[in-house]
Structure 1
Amino acid sequence: MVPLDPVPHPIDTLTMRGAGDAMALEDKAGTLSFAELEAAVGGMAHWLARQGLAPGDRVATWLPKTRTACLMPLAAPRAGLVHVPVNPVLKRQQVAHILADSGARLLVTQASRIAALEPGDVPVGCRVVTEDELTSRDALPPSSGDPDALAAILYTSGSTGRPKGVMLSHANLWLGAVSVAHYLQISSEDRVLGVLPLSFDYGQNQLLSTWYAGARVIPLDYLTARDVVKAVERYDATTLAGVPPLWVQVLEAEWGETANRLKRLTNSGGALTTPMVRGLRERFPNARLYPMYGLTEAFRSTYLDPSLVDANPDSMGKAIPFAEIIIVRPDGSRADPGEPGELVHAGALVAQGYWQDPERTAQRFRPAPDFAESGGMAVWSGDTVTEGPDGLLRFVGRDDEMIKSAGNRISPTEVEEAVLSGGEVAEAAAFGVKDERLGQAIVVVARAKGDAALAEASLRERLRRELPSFMQPSRYEWREALPRNANGKLDRAALKAGLESLA
């Protein structure tokens, strides 16, 4: 088992964790040993260092799981820069927002994606290059900078407004890798199939924790569950991480004897249902199942030990290493066992706040309670949980209005802005409603400016062009008028209650 070393190091030195001739990465193009990984990261960092960028400048990548996408989380910090990974499924409007908000000085992408951008999408002062240009005969050596320096900004949706950038230091990323590699018991012989987007903390950590353990990661962009089955068979993968919608597809796929190859399954991005837990345990009898709960603002908070899953399929488990999880009453005092309270995450994994957004940072990042063992700032999640007499946590409800669909955290405000931008509707409100496959499906309640059927047809056609698939509303509920509260604002509580009564 990987030891729990609490001393953080620059994240780019992960290349030194594996034996030089051991395989660090494998994909359709072949393999990279740890020695070759070090050379590739050093070369990419050297190229970046020659682009006239200042220390701390942001470098964005908008790529599928190419070699460049996998190496940039290490190469940009080695060059003293901050990496901003952009989800490859986002459309140009979302990409433009992230580039502008982060102040990116460089965007690394592909020619086909450049062609999809329109004038004004790339801010002044940001240069666009294709990943093929990142070549150098020289290399930068591993860095020795301050582990508290900013290394990455990961964009996540908030309950209101556009996506916000979570600031992560070298130490945040390093200790997250140590923690996960330890409690998942990843060994140098493991082969981890990486199917999640590298723009997600969960997906990016698959790279980092695997390399910390000196093991091999296999990045995969898949279309169907059958692609996952084939990849497990082709690469003899031992580990698969997913979100609930993927597990639905996985359980519907034909696996045969291939299912016996997996020895580790991990879940985050939404809770597993009890039937889903039972199905995974039956389908993959040789695999240890790790249900997990996390926040991008603190990387990850809890995991359930596989030995406890069968008896506690509805539990979130306990704190992961380097995390202190506290359940707090509304008055700020510690909740008793069995008493609902807000989950507060303190400790070394807490991020540095939201990029250039002090107001929203102050709302979510606040001092840890006086009774906490960890000092400093904590993440106040807004999620209500309880702690049982056995010390296991259970999720009660989400206090904010975030929509959690297919493992994605989606701002209802961002959906509403997109719906309203075309002029088809006068008013709109977006909600998440329970869905067996997605966790939550997006439903929009709206008042059309004209005929509702024509408005819906136009909306669906337009939003297919403007929003990624995971942000597409699954249903529209049309109303002659939308209720308002005493302040004249839309009465979201009444609208949501009306949806729940229709479910």
Structure 2
Amino acid sequence: MFSLADLFVKVIANRWQGSLVVLGGKGLTAECCEKALVLLNEEEVDFRPGDRVVVRTRSEIEAVAFILAAWNLGLVIVPVKGDISPSAVERLASDCNAKAIWQDGNLTDLQSYRSERTKFKISTPTRVTGVDLALIVYTSGSTGKPKGIMLTHQNILTSLDSICQYLSLTDSDRVLCLSPLSFDYGLYQVLFALYMDCTTILYDKPFNPIQALKVISSHRVSVLPIVPAMGAALVKLISLVKPDLSELRSITNTGGHLSEYVVRSWKESCPNLKIYSMYGLTECKRALYLEPELWEEKIGSVGRPIPGLDARIFLQDGDAMTYREAEVAEIGELYVRGAAIMQSYYDVTAQGGAKIVPGIYRDDNWLATGDLFTRDVDGFLYFKGRLKDLIKQAGFCLFPKELENHIDSCSLVHLNVIVGSQDRFENEIAVCVVELHENTEGYQKQFRTWLKDNLDSDYTPREIKFVEIMQLTANSKVDRKRIEEELQA
């Protein structure tokens, strides 16, 4: 397979043996894809290869058909949430100079589009290749400067092939997609069905853990991709719902650490379940994974590089702009190298935590992730936190992610997040915001005692804030930014 345009051809040529369906039963067909292509060809917008199209979507078959048809014409997809505000859509569309927007089956040209000069003027039919741009995924944009991550067809195909290998996906698998298509994690679950001829079920409703457990049972789901908040909410209700989990063979996780308590709870319900601890970022999709059978031995690790990628911990060596590899247990920044890493941010001035460090030829690049890691003697990697999230409390360096992972091991904790704040003397401190399984005075007292017994006093957050329900983003991740803003108010 040379490009994602081949997936469109695979469907309309009736060579696709997989299935993509929503809960109501409607599925992706050749007819859906052909209809989307007609819309693109008949629209008054004069599309040229490389033009960007914003796709404002929920989890819907029509959106998938449109994306495939657009890739077939060499267009670039910019997926955004269906409920994102109009002003946020305008900001993202302007940032990448999108020509049109798709929503609810309708295609509308954008008045903000600025005419672009092309070096090569094409008059014959498009031939889409692996180096063509396929996606611009925004990791922020509702506030602050948007960061559009540019991914080619080959970047995406490399990630697909690698993930399918280490998850051992087959055409008999049934994947439940709980994440929206605007989230790259959700979009890849759709691509699995097209790439591997397996089945993906689109959960086209607001996330409800009771309903989701029933869907896992009724649709005989074998692979369940989750984020930590979803995993915790689902396993908490298994004893109540009593779903049939006999077909469930594996769980994958992104967007944060899946606590030891949650993992053990899932394993109690499904003793043979394989749970994949993984690490990645949109700039390179997936980078590391831990083989499920090593979870007990390597608790806290996110494993080693996925097939086809290299990942190492480096420290900058003085002012010479050279890098040395970290020693065992030495904290440094994770760098990733391989054909899956992004081309760049669309606006090169909108740098995020990650950046590309070029080598001596075009594709000789390392992606500096902005994330801190250590490795053990066996080469397994452990996430310590983000460079920008480091909290210096009374002269001690506290790594939020390391603390969160440790606190997650407390059986009283449902979700927790460590954020930086200031005390009344304007000194930097760490605050632990925690949702307990039961937010009672007794549980709160037990939790404070657990912290005292299990954390060194110098590395214990100065403040504990108990909440009834942890604030989550639309992708069911802990809304760290909103929590930080409320603490600062």
Give the TM-score of the pair, scaled to structure 1.
0.70
Shift of 1:12: 2.6
Shift of 1:85: 0.5
Change (3 A) 1:9 1:338: same
Please say if residues 57 and 181 of structure 2, whose CA atoms lie closer than 8 Å, have aligned partners that are also in contact: no
Distance (whole Å) between structure 1 residues aligned to residue 379 and residue 305 of structure 2: 10
- State the number of aligned residues: 394
**Cα deviations across residues 106-151 of structure 1 (Å, max 9, x unaligned)?**
1111399x9xxxxxx965349xxxxxxxxxxxxxxx9852201101
Of all paired residues, the percent bearing the same amino acid is 29
Distance (whole Å) between structure 2 residues aligned to residue 234 and residue 338 of structure 1: 46
Shift of 1:472: 4.6
Change (3 A) 1:48 1:199: same
Residue number in structure 2 paired with 1:234: 218
Change (3 A) 1:435 1:283: same
Shift of 1:274: 1.7
Distance (whole Å) between structure 2 residues aligned to residue 68 and residue 367 of structure 1: 39
How does 1:357-368 map onto structure 2 within 5 Å?
A: 357-358=348-349, 360=351, 364-367=355-358
Residue number in structure 2 paired with 1:449: none
Q: Which runs of 5+ in 1 are unaligned?
A: 1-7, 115-120, 127-141, 406-411, 413-428, 439-463, 480-503
Please say if residues 85 and 154 of structure 1, whose CA atoms lie closer than 8 Å, have aligned partners that are also in contact: yes
Change (3 A) 1:321 1:391: same
Residue number in structure 2 paired with 1:297: 283
Distance (whole Å) between structure 1 residues aligned to residue 288 and residue 49 of structure 2: 34
For 1:293, give the aligned amino acid.
Y
| 1:75 pairs with 2:69 | yes
Aligned-pair Cα RMSD in Å: 3.7
- State the SS of the aligned residue for 1:310: coil
**Cα deviations across residues 355-392 of structure 1 (Å, max 9, x unaligned)?**
13256289711125x8xx99512210111101111221
Residue number in structure 2 paired with 1:12: 5
- Aligned match for 1:262, one of 248, 257, 280: 248
Shift of 1:286: 3.3
Q: Which runs of 5+ in 2 are unaligned?
A: 115-124, 318-322, 391-399, 405-418, 420-427, 438-472
Shift of 1:401: 4.1
Give the TM-score of the pair, scaled to structure 2.
0.72
Distance (whole Å) between structure 2 residues aligned to residue 337 and residue 326 of structure 1: 12
How does 1:323-338 map onto structure 2 within 5 Å?
A: 323-331=309-317, 332-338=323-329
Residue number in structure 2 paired with 1:180: 163
| 1:222 pairs with 2:206 | yes
- Aligned match for 1:155, one of 134, 138, 141: 138
The higher relative CO (CA closer than 8 Å, separation ≥ 6) is in 1
Please say if residues 24 and 31 of structure 1, whose CA atoms lie closer than 8 Å, have aligned partners that are also in contact: no
How does 1:265-344 map onto structure 2 within 5 Å?
A: 265-331=251-317, 332-344=323-335
Change (3 A) 1:187 1:226: same
| 1:244 pairs with 2:236 | no
Please say if residues 247 and 276 of structure 1, whose CA atoms lie closer than 8 Å, have aligned partners that are also in contact: yes
Shift of 1:59: 1.0
| 1:106 pairs with 2:100 | yes
Shift of 1:475: 7.3
- Aligned match for 1:348, one of 339, 342, 346: 339
Please say if residues 98 and 110 of structure 2, whose CA atoms lie closer than 8 Å, have aligned partners that are also in contact: no
Distance (whole Å) between structure 2 residues aligned to residue 473 and residue 284 of structure 1: 34
Change (3 A) 1:269 1:80: same
Distance (whole Å) between structure 2 residues aligned to residue 323 and residue 85 of structure 1: 26
Change (3 A) 1:145 1:478: closer
